Structure 1
Amino acid sequence: MELDTQRALDVAQTEEILRGVLIPPRPALLVEVLEEQNRPEPNLERIARLVSEDVALAASTLKLVNSPLFGLSRPVVDIGHAVRLLGMRNIVSLVTALLLHQAFRGSKGTLMEWFWRRAEWMAHAATLVARASRALAQEEAYTLGLFCDCGMPLLLRRFPEYAGVYEAAEREADARPLIEVERERLRTDHAAAGFLLARAWKLPAEFCQAILRHHDPIDYYQAEAADVTVKYLAVLMAAQHLVRQMQHQPPAAEWLAVGTSVQHFLGLSEEALVWLLQELKKLRPA
């Protein structure tokens, strides 16, 4: 899926607006891990060793892998074990997600506290949707859910008034996508800012596109041969709907526009969504 003209302009304008705002650089550890992953014959032991050298990251990775969310039949005792059990691509996805926490560790405030809580819920909801629909690997879905709103901290760095703008946008979220309100007030939106961060971290192009489009009220889900971006988007759309339900919020305008198509694409009935919501409520993200 390529950038259409309007969203390309949105991204270019966002890049100009955020000029001078520090977009967290791609962590050195991620650079090394991805370089090893992309070798013709990657060394799993080296990837495990690289992750293990960051003690805090290794501990967080093991805590996440052993959480009820992933439902492993036996505990994972070290990073090497995790790499062998989950596979290189999946463990790299989880490490990438956890590095996002480190990138914005210094950002404080009420909105940031809310952002991290919601990011964790989105990660959990996306994982459940991916598992139920088999659209994506659950580890990949976890990373996608955690990253999807990563542009918010960037807008907060650029606009001190962003918390108020977001609250205003949320009040209208059932009538129109909240990024429309952001663009009216700020001339940019958190989806475009998140795209820039994901691109700076050299995440897969389809992943970046999904972040950019995850509030689009456009039916991408009718194509007979949907590309992976559409799978990412469908999982995010369903996850967002579940999180809004859990927080007793009305369905978002995007879901009202394309929710039926998303459910059909993922093979999820209304009963399945009710079950997923109950499963989500059982989880307690940290």
Structure 2
Amino acid sequence: MSETPETNSATSEPENLQGKIDIPAPPAIIETLSRSMADLNTIGKMIAEQEQLATEVVNTINAPCFNLVRNIANIEEAVRFLGHERIVRLATARSLRASFFTSTQSFPEEVWNVANRVAVANVLIAKELKLADSDQAYEIGLFHNIGMALLYNHTSRYRIIIKSAYRHESGAISAFEKHHLGISHAEVSGMLAKRWLLDELAVDVISNHHSTQWINQQFKENSNEELLNLLAMIKLSERISHSCGFIAQAPQNYEWQRVAPAILNYLGLNETQLERLKRQVLEGMKQEG
């Protein structure tokens, strides 16, 4: 099946947004934290000065999906418990809400809600299958679709285009977007992730998470194990959380059909084991409220 879907009448004439998307810089506190060599006490005090961010990070760490051995009382304790790198990942992830999802429009809110679902699923799957640290899984989940919000701000047609992309039987979501817009939300998400100083592997996964040919090629070549773990995690999370249904009301995940054999083979999962994992993850997601 072709990787380049045909034009859908619902999306009208193609346009080219390549090079026209403004990628916002991270909040000053995130850039400072990412580049800081300060001790943990100083890091804790720096985040504590951002009261809303500090509260969000602590609440996130104490969420059921992280399943810590004890409750964390404040941001200073969180920093000492998790360390610099892991706390910066969580602070960066939580900064997205205030930076991009402050409007009352329904579509950006849908994007954020789906990102939250995938982030929680990522954490649960990463822990169950030992694929990644919880904070890295959470960060990638919140960042992976952020490009949708940016593209929505640049064209009134985006909601129609992305829904059509998810519903297209080719399963080539990024290719569909690029055909109609010259760029995909995954690419934009990756550009933002890079500017917000996420690590190189996370940027690669986010940038290519809808590039089915690229994904299959990585598993075929048995490339970097950490990269394959992160790719398997995000695609499983999208499948289990049914993100295509929430974003596009699409009953079928055509993309999953194209990448499932490589991913399930890599993880050593059969369909029965996948269904068992799905039940476990969905049950864990219910606990998040």
2:196 corresponds in structure 1 to 201
Change (3 A) 1:268 1:48: farther
What is the CA-CA distance between 1:78 and the residue it aligns to?
A: 1.1
SS of 1:222's equivalent? helix
Structure 1 runs of 4+ aligned residues shifted over 4 Å read 245-251
Distance in 1 of aligned mates of 2:103 and 2:18: 21
Q: Which residue identity lines up with residue 261 of structure 2 in the other structure? A: T
- Whether the 8 Å CA contact 2:17–2:181 is kept in 1: the answer is no
Identity %: 26
1:187 to 178, 182, 191: 182
SS of 1:69's equivalent? helix
SS of 1:215's equivalent? coil
- Whether the 8 Å CA contact 2:125–2:281 is kept in 1: the answer is no
- Whether the 8 Å CA contact 1:191–1:211 is kept in 2: the answer is yes
Q: How does 1:125-164 map to 2 (within 5 A)?
A: 125-164=121-160
RMSD: 2.2
Moved more, 219-228 or 180-189: 219-228
- Whether the 8 Å CA contact 1:14–1:192 is kept in 2: the answer is no
- Whether the 8 Å CA contact 2:18–2:181 is kept in 1: the answer is no
What is the CA-CA distance between 1:65 and the residue it aligns to?
A: 0.9
Map Cα deviations across residues 81-135 of structure 1 (whole Å, 9 max, x no partner).
2122223222221111101112113333121111011000110111111112212
Distance in 1 of aligned mates of 2:184 and 2:244: 25
1:237 corresponds in structure 2 to 235
1:216 corresponds in structure 2 to 211
What is the CA-CA distance between 1:246 and the residue it aligns to?
A: 9.5
Compute the TM-score of the two structures, normalised by the length of structure 1: 0.85
SS of 1:257's equivalent? helix
Distance in 1 of aligned mates of 2:63 and 2:192: 28
Change (3 A) 1:157 1:249: closer
2:9 corresponds in structure 1 to none
1:85 corresponds in structure 2 to 81
Compute the TM-score of the two structures, normalised by the length of structure 2: 0.84
- Whether the 8 Å CA contact 2:62–2:72 is kept in 1: the answer is yes
Structure 2 alignment gaps of length 5 or more: 1-15
1:16 corresponds in structure 2 to 19
1:56 corresponds in structure 2 to 52
- Whether the 8 Å CA contact 1:199–1:205 is kept in 2: the answer is yes
Distance in 1 of aligned mates of 2:123 and 2:57: 16
What is the CA-CA distance between 1:70 and the residue it aligns to?
A: 0.8
Change (3 A) 1:208 1:225: closer
Change (3 A) 1:235 1:106: same
Moved more, 228-237 or 109-118: 228-237
What is the CA-CA distance between 1:271 and the residue it aligns to?
A: 3.5
Distance in 1 of aligned mates of 2:220 and 2:134: 23
1:76 corresponds in structure 2 to 72
Q: Which residue identity lines up with residue 17 of structure 1 in the other structure? A: K
- Number of residues of Structure 1 aligned to a counterpart in Structure 2: 266
Map Cα deviations across residues 159-207 of structure 1 (whole Å, 9 max, x no partner).
11111111222221x4322222212221221111112111221221221
- Whether the 8 Å CA contact 2:90–2:135 is kept in 1: the answer is yes
Change (3 A) 1:189 1:243: same
Distance in 1 of aligned mates of 2:273 and 2:53: 34
Distance in 2 of aligned mates of 1:245 and 1:103: 22
1:35 corresponds in structure 2 to 35
Structure 1 alignment gaps of length 5 or more: 1-12
Q: Which residue identity lines up with residue 262 of structure 1 in the other structure? A: I
Distance in 2 of aligned mates of 1:227 and 1:276: 21
Change (3 A) 1:246 1:171: closer
SS of 2:65's equivalent? coil
1:276 corresponds in structure 2 to 277
SS of 1:75's equivalent? coil
Distance in 2 of aligned mates of 1:71 and 1:59: 18
